[in-house]
Amino acid sequence: MKRVISVSGSEEETVEICEKVAKLGLECSFDSKVKSTDGSISSIMIKLYDNDRIRLKEGHKDILAIITDVKNKYNANKKGMFTYQFTDLKTPVNKDLIMDALKYSKIKYEYLKSENELLAEITAQELDDLLKELQEIYIDLSYYPIGSKPVKNAVVLGVFISGVEMEDILELGLEKGCFREEDDRIVLNMDIDKVKTILCSAAN
């Protein structure tokens, strides 16, 4: 038995769809062709095979779900927002830090907890660039005796938004009473939302 699924989109979309479908481990084949003169739009045909009708139906459903997720990632909804699966983000950055970075960058976003999805007014490439920058700053934290995750997130956020060096952010945080030193570690000493506001305005 066979089912055929056709989908068109940008090269990025169609390649990502094929890669994700291939990881499902289903028996299927892919045919593709370029639809636009500049090569930017492609069309793919996914042929799914299975002798079991139920497995074929489930496989078809899984492929359609992948297509929907990828389409929502590369095509904005009516509100101008793109949809991202947190589990699908290429650069590993914790969820709270991502949402704070968007909030303090004044980028419109929504978090759908039940689906674990992020809707944001930012393209996939722009989001990936943002995550890479956050990750680079986060890696620098290993050189400093910083305590809990909320403190680490606040420091990274402050550096990211203000553009001020990490040492200066930490010094400011201690001076303003955001943090205190305890057992040779820098720990939280104030309401976390106040801390974020102070550190993010460090350049002012």
Give the bridge partners for 120, in sequence order.
82, 109
Predicted confidence (pLDDT) at residue 39 exceeds the cutoff of 70: no
With pLDDT > 90 as the criterion, what percentage of the chain qualifies? Answer: 77
> What local confidence, expressed as pLDDT, does residue 183 receive?
87
**Mean pLDDT across the chain:** 92
> What local confidence, expressed as pLDDT, does residue 110 receive?
96
**34-44: average pLDDT:** 71
Range scoring the smallest mean pLDDT among 21-25, 93-97, 123-127, 200-204 = 200-204
pLDDT digits (tens, 9 = 90+) for 85-126: 988 888 889 999 999 999 999 999 999 999 899 999 999 999
pLDDT category at 32 given cuts 50, 70, 90 is: confident
**51-57: average pLDDT:** 93
pLDDT category at 38 given cuts 50, 70, 90 is: low
Predicted confidence (pLDDT) at residue 37 exceeds the cutoff of 80: no
Predicted confidence (pLDDT) at residue 148 exceeds the cutoff of 90: no
> What local confidence, expressed as pLDDT, does residue 147 receive?
80
Full 3-state SS string of the chain? CEEEEEEEEEHHHHHHHHHHHHCCCCCEEEEEEECCCCCCEEEEEEEEECCCHHHHHHHHHHHHHHHHHHHHHHCCCCCCCEEEEHHHCCCCCCHHHHHHHHHHCCCCEEEECCCCEEEECCCHHHHHHHHHHHHHHHHHHHHCCECCHHHHHHHHHHHHHHCCCHHHHHHHHHHCCCEEEECCEEEECCCHHHHHHHHHCCCC
With pLDDT > 70 as the criterion, what percentage of the chain qualifies? Answer: 96
Give the bridge partners for 49, in sequence order.
2
Alpha carbons within 13 A on the beta-carbon side of 135? 11
**171-176: average pLDDT:** 95
Predicted confidence (pLDDT) at residue 200 exceeds the cutoff of 80: yes
Whole-model pTM?
0.84
